[in-house]
């Protein structure tokens, strides 16, 4: 008997998967999401590009400034931009910049100040480096004229940076955890909303076309529901894994191995909670569809389900500061699927907390599946008018 029921559920789930695989809208949305996630990983690196290279021609008097700018650009510290400066000599700054390979020329004005000569414009980072170098060289010259020792000049122009003591240091993460939370939160929101609405629409279409009566004649109502939910859950999980995997492959391809390690470290929790959260809500989406007798009624019957999907998304996005509210939301069944993994990603959750939250969500999922199955059984065959929840519950008890 168990084998027979398993086979029925597998048959219905396979039918749901086959329908989705042939759905052009589903394929298009998946392709768009893959493209977006890959571009989000690759484009910033391409925009950042390699360290810019500049050729600077300098007079003999301005050479110390040019060399100091080259040193500052190579260090890339003190909040200054990184740049690779090649310094060449010249006696004619205006003539030097006429050469296509020269980006700017340095010389000293009548007042002793540094003059930057360029043909059309000066790159902003080059101008910033020259400005910082000019200040440093001037400070060194003035300090030396004042009779300060080499150590005193170094202490004046290159003071020791402040020491930073972290009492509870967090591990270095190449991507801000908040960004990871937003990405997974959006995936959860979009996927559950899309597949949930698809389940509801599929149910009401089967009702309005009377196909459900044929299906119920061959498959018990609860097993029909189980196959529908499991088939869509498999496709939803597959879509999320495919999208995340594409992003990770893109990061690996551009040499961002740290991003891959960071995302892999938290993606397991997000995916585990995603599966439980989807199963927790999927039956209720089917119920929302079974309560309607035609497509036009779906907007009203699925309203509360849309709110149930929005709650975890906005909770994870806007409740960021660790506090009693965030901790409570990480255990509340509707918001836990995103808030608890978000706390794990930011390092705010203890090792045992996600396991407890997962048990809470799993227990809630079992309860909602049982309730949803009864409501579905009591309403799916009522094709004449919209079914009220009370009537569906009573009819489900007799089914």
pTM above 0.85, yes or no: no
| Topology, domain 50-157 | D-Maltodextrin-Binding Protein; domain 2 (3.40.190)
- The predicted-structure confidence for 149-195, as pLDDT tens digits, reads as follows 767 666 666 666 666 666 666 665 656 677 777 878 888 888 888 88
Q: How many CB atoms lie within 10 A of CB 398?
A: 7
Helix or strand (DSSP H, E) at 261: helix 257-291
Give me 62's structure tokens.
């301005």
Structure tokens at 56: 């600077």
Tens digit of each residue's pLDDT (9 = 90 or more) over 297-326: 878 888 888 888 888 788 878 887 788 888
Does the structure show a pLDDT above 70 at 111? yes
Domain boundary assignment for the chain:
2-45+175-398, 50-157
CA pair distance 373, 299, nearest whole angstrom: 21
Contact 354, 340 (CB under 8 A): yes
Q: How many Å apart are CA 342 and CA 360, to the nearest integer?
A: 17
6 contacts: CB under 8 Å, gap ≥ 6: none
CB-count exposure of residue 63 (10 Å: 0-12, 13-18, 19+) = middle
- What confidence tens digit (pLDDT) does each residue in 51-110 have? 788 888 899 888 888 888 888 877 765 667 778 888 898 888 888 888 888 898 888 888
| Whole-number Å distance between alpha carbons of 73 and 125 | 9
> What is the rounded CA–CA span in Å between residue 392 and residue 219?
19
Instruction: Determine the pLDDT at residue 355.
Output: 94
């Amino acid at each position: 008997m168990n084998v027979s029921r398993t086979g029925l559920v597998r048959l219905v789930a396979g039918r749901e998967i086959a329908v989705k695989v042939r759905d052009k809208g589903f394929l298009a949305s998946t392709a768009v999401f893959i493209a977006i996630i890959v571009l989000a990983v690759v484009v910033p690196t391409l925009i950042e590009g390699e360290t810019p290279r500049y050729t600077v021609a300098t007079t003999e008097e301005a050479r110390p400034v040019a060399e100091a700018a080259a040193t500052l650009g190579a260090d890339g510290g003190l909040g200054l931009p990184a740049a690779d400066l090649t310094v060449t000599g010249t006696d004619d700054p205006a003539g030097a910049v006429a050469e296509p390979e020269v980006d700017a020329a340095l010389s000293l004005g009548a007042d002793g100040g540094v003059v930057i000569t360029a043909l059309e414009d000066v790159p902003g980072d080059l101008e910033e480096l020259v400005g910082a170098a000019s200040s440093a060289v001037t400070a060194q010259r003035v300090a030396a004229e004042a009779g300060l020792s080499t150590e005193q000049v170094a202490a004046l122009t290159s003071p020791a940076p402040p020491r930073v003591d972290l009492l509870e240091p967090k591990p270095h993460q190449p991507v801000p955890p908040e960004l990871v939370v937003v990405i997974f939160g959006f995936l959860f929101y979009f996927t559950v909303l899309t597949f949930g609405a698809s389940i509801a629409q599929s149910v009401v279409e089967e009702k309005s076309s009377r196909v459900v009566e044929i299906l119920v004649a061959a498959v018990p109502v609860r097993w029909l529901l189980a196959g529908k939910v499991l088939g869509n859950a498999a496709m939803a999980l597959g879509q999320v894994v495919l999208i995340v995997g594409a992003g990770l492959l893109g990061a690996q391809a551009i040499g961002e191995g740290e991003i891959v390690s960071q995302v892999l470290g938290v993606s397991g929790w997000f995916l585990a909670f995603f599966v439980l959260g989807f199963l927790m809500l999927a039956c209720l989406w089917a119920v929302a569809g079974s309560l309607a007798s035609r497509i036009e009624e779906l907007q009203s019957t699925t309203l509360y389900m849309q709110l149930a999907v929005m709650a975890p998304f906005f909770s994870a996005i806007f409740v960021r500061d660790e506090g009693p509210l965030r901790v409570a939301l990480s255990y509340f069944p509707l918001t836990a699927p995103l808030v608890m993994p978000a706390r794990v990603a930011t390092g705010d959750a203890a090792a045992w907390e996600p396991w407890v939250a997962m048990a809470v969500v799993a227990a809630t999922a079992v309860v909602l599946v049982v309730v949803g199955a009864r409501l579905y059984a009591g309403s799916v065959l009522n094709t004449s008018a919209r079914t009220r929840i009370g009537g569906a519950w009573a009819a489900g008890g007799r089914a």
